[in-house]
Amino acid sequence: MEGVDYLAPERNNAQFDVDEMKIVWAGSREAFEVSDRIARLVASDPNFRKDDRTTLGRKELFKNTLRKAAYAWKRIIELRLNEEEAKRLRSFIDQPAFTDLHWGMFVPAIKGQGTDEQQEKWLPLAYKMQIIGCYAQTELGHGSNVQGLETTATFDPQTDEFVIHSPTLTSCKWWPGGLGKISTHGVIYARLITDGKDHGVHGFIVQLRSLDDHLPLPGITVGDIGMKFGNAAYNTMDNGVLRFDHVRIPRNQMLMRVSQVTREGKYVQSNVPRQLVYGTMVFVRQTIVSDASTALSRAVCIATRYSAVRRQFGSHNGSPETQVINYKTQQARLFPLLASAYAFRFVGEWLKWLYMDVTKRLEAKDFSTLPEAHACTAGLKSLTTSATADGIEECRKLCGGHGYLCSSGLPELFAVYVPACTYEGDNIVLLLQVARHLMKTVSQLGSGKMPVGTTAYMGRAEHLMQCRSDVKQAKDWLRPNVVLEAFEARAFRMSVACAKNLTKFSSPEEGFQELSADLVEAAVAHCQLIVVSKFIEKLQQDIPGKGVKQQLEILCSVYALFLLHKHHGDFLSTGCITPTQASLANEQLRSLYSQVRPNAIALVDAFNYTDHYLGSVLGRYDGNVYPKLYEEAWKDPLNDSVVPDGYHEYVRPMLKQQLRNARL
Ligand SMILES: CCCCCCCCCCC/C=C/C(=O)SCCNC(=O)CCNC(=O)[C@H](O)C(C)(C)COP(=O)(O)OP(=O)(O)OC[C@H]1O[C@@H](n2cnc3c(N)ncnc32)[C@H](O)[C@@H]1OP(=O)(O)O
Ligand SMILES: Cc1cc2nc3c(=O)[nH]c(=O)nc-3n(C[C@H](O)[C@H](O)[C@H](O)COP(=O)(O)OP(=O)(O)OC[C@H]3O[C@@H](n4cnc5c(N)ncnc54)[C@H](O)[C@@H]3O)c2cc1C
């Protein structure tokens, strides 16, 4: 029945103030108000309809994406939305588009690596969308190994220009979003060559297409790289291929904040680390962590609501069957994901702060926290995207057969999300960067240099190598210090074990290769510690609202104890806890699941997602799942006719043949 809230009894069970939790989730009252207003704006505008997109062919889908992007831009201008509101609007449209790369990477690359004059020239054009840009770094032959890129930018002192060239097939740019069909410009990464000397990879602004007829400029070959995983998913994006044949650009289009080439062709390096050329990646990795909490919370919201609606088995004397959310196995799979969504939200907030802090320091020429910012953004991007991709798939399974229908929203969410494990740095490659940072920190411990930031705990080396958990009963695992110490000791001991093993090889490089699987595990342990500790820090803040803090304390314990249970082998083998303490943690976890249960629906309501944004029949706010699933099925284009196209051509002759054979 329309208008009935089938989940109302669940909502009535909540033991906390949902509206206050919405503020905590959004980050502030103001952020909540912006997000809520823009989400409703998008949901109520039929131009942003998205329920038909999985049935569209690639060309229609792409045109539909362009239409939405143009309409969104029109609304942004008409409503005079500010930067934050515009960003929210684009994200609620929920369809990857060239604009993501324009605003998310092209503009930040110019801001971060362009001189003041370059910013003054290019940013106003980009802000008004008079040019559209992409970020073209990856090539057919190299993505992870940025130093291996082959595109060249050779300075010609005769003409005061760079000649951009793709010397081999493998040097073609391959993957950049927005490049395939739309971008007029790109920040192109190429090896800078002056006077025959190779200075490594630098960024250049290159015009790719005419602003009049959109045709590629002379010397440029450009197109789309083809269909990707899934139906609609990331196929709304024109990931592109680009080949340069001696394309000339003025010298002042090299992004010259980090290093410069003078009129005479002299290469000058500013007094800043060369890694600042990688700054845009650090910025985007940081945003990807917050995006992970959004993607995971969407999947969890769908699976939680549906688990409360769905009933299987357990009917006695005609009573209703059991809601599947009441099965302990369902809870043990679902509630850690719910807790992870909150955990990633808070670590994302903290990472945003860290990024702003490092940016301020860089402006004051303080580069001391750059390695920490790189390690944290790389490690947390990796940890949160891998957990989210796995979590979305788990949510699909939690929804049984109906989770496999596109109308559940989960297949689309999975297909569009999984490349996050690869783009902005393959997750394993990034964890190896974290491991390098950890090995460096461990190796410096004896030198008297105190580790800082997220590795500060390593400063308590002696204690962490010796400590034994004092947990005696299950409820001891609710004490934040007990949990923190166990995670710190496990992470530290795993790093120290790797560092010791590295000394057994003839060179550190050989050791690093041989031990890379162990190093990745040590990096994961360190990153999990960061997430747990930032959740605990969040709880030390003043959190208003009836029962809100208590719910977050429960979720924090669920997150930590779930990890402890999942990785208990690490905790046991490093001697941080005993087998008895491991089973006490599991006992506590079971009890926490029972505490989450009555609040589960309210905890996902706190994400404040509109039905439009969720895009899921199973995750509907009102829980009216079955009639809507039935309705959706009839909307499928296959059901446009009773007898399908192809029946008379292929099936009927077959049937007739069978009939003739039978008569023989
Ligand atoms: C509003 C927001 C909306 C956002 C919308 C975004 C939508 C997203 C859509 C997706 C778009 C996708 C885009 C892309 O994928 S762009 C391409 C991304 N490519 C990568 O991420 C490549 C990964 N590879 C690398 O980053 C590097 O090559 C790697 C770090 C793996 C190795 O680099 P390199 O060989 O140069 O380095 P070394 O290992 O030798 O290390 C040298 C030292 O430099 C330090 N380092 C490395 N990277 C950084 C960095 N980024 N910042 C600071 N420092 C860095 C490294 O730790 C070494 O330090 P030490 O010498 O002290 O050990
Ligand atoms: C949807 C999508 C959008 C993208 N958008 C852009 C864009 O806008 N701009 C852009 O420039 N790029 C973009 N990319 C490219 C992306 O950044 C790269 O694909 C990514 O950095 C991974 O690099 P790769 O493809 O070279 O993987 P590879 O490095 O070839 O990885 C292959 C395998 O090798 C392993 N491996 C590689 N090196 C090591 C090592 N040192 N040790 C151990 N294992 C290793 C990896 O773990 C992986 O399992 C996009 C990619 C995707 C999928």
pLDDT tens for each residue of 419-450:
999 999 999 999 999 999 999 999 999 888 89
Q: Is the pLDDT of residue 411 over 90?
A: yes
pLDDT tens per residue, range 577-635: 999 999 999 999 999 999 999 999 999 999 999 999 999 999 999 999 999 999 999 99
Who wins on pLDDT, 270 or 534? 534
Residue pLDDT, tens place only, 34-90 = 999 999 999 999 999 998 888 899 999 999 999 999 999 999 999 999 999 999 999
Largest pairwise CA distance in the chain: 95
User: What's the CA-to-centroid distance between 552 and ligand 2, angstroms?
Assistant: 36
Is the pLDDT assigned to residue 26 strictly greater than 60? Answer: yes
DSSP helix/strand/coil, 249: strand
Ligand 1 center to residue 149 CA distance, Å?
13
Q: Determine the pLDDT at residue 200.
A: 96
Homologous superfamily (CATH) of 107-270 is Butyryl-CoA Dehydrogenase, subunit A, domain 2 (2.40.110.10)
The mean pLDDT value for 378-404 works out to: 98
Amino acid at 155: F
For range 262-277, the mean pLDDT: 92
Cα–Cα distance between 134 and 104 in angstroms, integer? 9
Separation of 467 CA from ligand 1 center, angstroms?
A: 36
- CA–CA dist 608, 610 (Å, integer): 7
Segment among 19-23, 191-195, 202-206, 655-659 with least mean pLDDT = 655-659
pLDDT of residue 129: 97
Contact present, 496 and 526 (Cβ < 8 Å) = no
Q: Hey, CA dihedral for 406, 410, 416, 418, is it positive or negative?
A: negative
Neighbours of 645 (CB within 10 A): 10
pLDDT at 532 > cutoff 80: yes
What is residue 389's predicted lDDT score, i.e. its pLDDT? 98
| Nearest ligand to the C-alpha atom of residue 419 | 2
Query: Relative to the alpha carbon of 230, which ligand is closest?
Result: 2
Question: Ligand 2 mean position to 142 CA, how many Å?
Answer: 8
- Predicted local confidence at residue 231, as pLDDT: 86
- Pocket of ligand 1 contains residue 100 by CB under 6 Å: yes
What's the number of CA atoms in the CB half-sphere (13 Å) around residue 149?
A: 27
Q: Is 282 in the pocket of ligand 1 (CB under 6 A)?
A: yes
Q: Whose CA is nearest to atom 33 of ligand 2?
A: 426
Q: Whose CA is nearest to atom 48 of ligand 2?
A: 426
Mean pLDDT for the chain? 97
Three-state secondary structure call for residue 607: coil
424 counts as catalytic: yes
CA 426 to centroid of ligand 2, rounded, Å: 5
Q: Dump pLDDT digits (tens) for 201-253.
A: 999 999 999 999 999 999 999 999 999 999 899 999 999 999 999 999 999 99
State the closest ligand 1 atom to the C-alpha of 145, by its place in the atom list counted from 1: 28
What local confidence, expressed as pLDDT, does residue 130 receive? 98
Give the closest residue (by CA) to ligand 2 atom 1.
419
pLDDT at residue 1, rounded to an integer: 57
Share of the chain above pLDDT 70, in %: 100
Question: Considering 424, 485, 488, 553, which one is annotated as catalytic?
Answer: 424
pLDDT at 663 exceeding the cut of 80: no
What is this structure's pTM? Answer: 0.97
Q: What is the mean pLDDT of residues 362-387?
A: 96
CA of 520 relative to ligand 2 center, distance in Å? 17
Provide the Cα torsion 559, 561, 565, 566; round to 10°.
20
Q: Whose CA is nearest to atom 25 of ligand 2?
A: 143
- At 448 the pLDDT is 83
Contact 526, 438 (CB under 8 A): yes
Atom 47 of ligand 1, nearest CA residue: 275
ipTM: 0.98
Residue with CA nearest ligand 2 atom 5: 176
Give, in degrees to the nearest 5, the angle at Cα 27 between 280 and 433.
35
Question: Cβ < 6 Å from ligand 2: which residues?
Answer: 101, 135-138, 143-144, 175-177, 234, 239, 419, 422-423, 425-426, 428-429, 432, 516
Identify the pLDDT of residue 2.
65
Residues within the annotated binding site for FAD?
138, 177
Residue-range domain boundaries for the chain: 107-270
| Element housing 260 (H / E) | strand 259-261
- pLDDT, residue 624, reads 97
How many angstroms from the chain centroid is the CA of residue 479?
31
178 Cα distance to chain centroid: 19
Average pLDDT over every residue of 306-319: 95
Atom of ligand 1 nearest to the CA of 375: 57
Q: Report the share of the chain in percent with pLDDT over 90.
A: 95
